[in-house]
Chains A and B, each alone.
Chain A
Amino acid sequence: MISQRLREAIAGVFSEVDVALAYQQGFDKLHATPCFMTMPEEINKLIWNPLCVHNLTSYLPSLKKKKVAVVVKGCDSRTIVQFMQEGLINRENVVIIGIPCNGVISVNKVLHETNHEPIEDITFGENGEITVKTLKGEKTLLLSDVCPDKCKTCQYPTPIVYDRLVGDPITSDKSPDSVYADIKEFENKTLEERLQYWEQEFDRCIRCYACRNACPMCICQDSCIAETRDPHWISQRATLSEKFMFHMIHALHLAGRCVECGECERACPMGIPVNKLKRKINLDMKELFGYEPGIDPEDKPPLYTFKVDEVTIKEHKI
């Protein structure tokens, strides 16, 4: 079992670190939750299955001065690479326990499939089948039907960086063209349709800032300009333009940095496609500068550098 091998891997590095980050069973059968282990006996708590949705690397910058072991999936590993590019962690202080991943679940999608009945039990088969037990009976779902959208086009099922790999590397069988297919499709809409789409989406925003709080690259923490008076970018008024502006701040601060881990959308209680704008920018960054966040630790985020001659940026005419 991977869980067991994972426990062994963590036990193997435990003496080197101050804290180990992994997953444990959450408050119910449907939820895993992050666990911070400082005692060896805690290792037995940890689990590994498709419930382990969180991007645990989010905690790393705040633990910059500590030695940390962290369990990462392929998608999560991009965050670490991005942290390295931006100098937000000390790589030598992090022991990365990588796990090749075939996909996780979307809690919301599972609940949707089971009509929001309380989940009594959930088990995972070898080939991506999920058996969910509720008071109303048992239902078998396919992981590919209830995974988050990011898993459907995942290009990096095996972590890009790791110190220990638990399990065999997996190669992606998803077409690279599929990654931004939804963005390109959205661009087929008319301008009016797009504006209307965003106005409808952002109008539902309750300014809870869960998307921001969940985002590993949102480094501003308590200094977020969505809440400051100096600078005073937006007021607390619940108008569409202020909500829209908040999402623009979020998107532009992530421009060319977003590793597309999807934590923002997972956290959003209103189901707003928060990641979409950032992914659109990523697509542009790829086209303009051949840059993809979280892939190469030696890269520089494209908006914090420049070339004297930008061959891909053409002068605009009126």
Chain B
Amino acid sequence: MSDVAARELRIVGFLCNWCSYGGADTAGVSRFKQPTDLRIIRVPCSGRVDPLFIVKALLNGADGVLVSGCHPRDCHYTDGNFYARRRLEMLKRLLPFLGIDERRFHYTWISASEGGKWQQTVTDFTKRVHELGPLHAKKEATP
């Protein structure tokens, strides 16, 4: 485990059930290889993603957070991703004010058919988080 922990960073993904979770499934079915750092939480809609979940993750050990929903206008619930877009953009701008690199948080829109885009997104985001390194290195010691 420690060997694995050394190689991987903690990346949390919030994926909407109808589009992006399906897109990740499509990537799997297509055997599109991806880095293994990401852990996926399935939510019904990107509109369900309270920005506080992202803050919680980043404050408690995550090195990166990825949120993906249906493309604007394609939301299974019509408007959910429209709300998400505003709230996630707000957070994206707030993070650097707190001293957290905004590149640790990415939000995007991926449909159930876009397995390729999913693979690319996971690969690129994981690479970027690795470039930034662990967020919590110096705090490991504190309880």
Contact = CB atoms under 8 A, between A and B. Distances in A.
Asked if the two chains touch in their complex, CB atoms less than 8 Å apart, one says yes
Interface of A: 183, 186-187, 191-198, 233, 239-241, 244-245, 248-249, 251-252, 255-256, 277, 280-281, 284-285, 288-289, 302-304, 306-308, 310, 313, 315-316, 318
Contacts of A285: 90
B60 A241 contact: yes
A299 to B, nearest CB: 14
A316 B93 contact: no
Closest 8 A/B residue pairs (Cβ): A195-B99, A194-B99, A306-B82, A318-B124, A248-B55, A284-B93, A280-B97, A241-B59
A92 to B, nearest CB: 31
Contacts of A256: 90
Contacts, number: 92
B98 A198 contact: yes
A292 to B, nearest CB: 15
Interface string B66-99: 0000001100000100110111011111101111
A318 B90 contact: no
Among B51, B79, B93, B128, which residue has the most Cβ atoms of chain A within 10 A? B93
Interface string B96-133: 11111100001111000000000001001100100000
A275 to B, nearest CB: 13
Contact of B90 (A233, A281, A304): A281
Contacts of B143: 239
Nearest to A190: B99
A267 B82 CA distance: 36
B142 interface: yes
B1 interface: no
Contacts of B142: 239-240
Nearest to B92: A316
B31 interface: no
Chain B at the A interface: SS class: helix
Contacts of B87: 255, 303
Among B82, B97, B109, B125, which residue has the most Cβ atoms of chain A within 10 A? B97
Nearest to B82: A306
14 contacts: A198-B98, A239-B142, A245-B55, A245-B56, A256-B90, A277-B98, A284-B94, A288-B90, A288-B93, A303-B86, A306-B83, A308-B73, A315-B109, A318-B128
A316 B60 contact: no
A186 to B, nearest CB: 7
Chain A at the B interface: SS class: helix
B35 to A, nearest CB: 13
Given A194-B96, A284-B93, 5 more contacts: A191-B96, A195-B100, A249-B52, A280-B97, A315-B109
Contact of B121 (A241, A302, A308, A318): A318
Contacts of B106: 316, 318
A220 B94 CA distance: 23
B89 A313 contact: yes
B23 to A, nearest CB: 16
A255 B125 CA distance: 27
A316 B108 contact: yes
Contacts of A197: 99
Interface in B44-65: 51-52, 55-56, 59-60
Nearest to B99: A195
B59 A302 contact: no
A248 B59 contact: yes
Nearest to A194: B99
Contacts of A255: 87, 90
Given A193-B99, A252-B51, A284 B82 contact: no
Nearest to B72: A308
A195 B97 CA distance: 8
Contacts of A303: 83, 86-87, 90
A239 B59 CA distance: 11
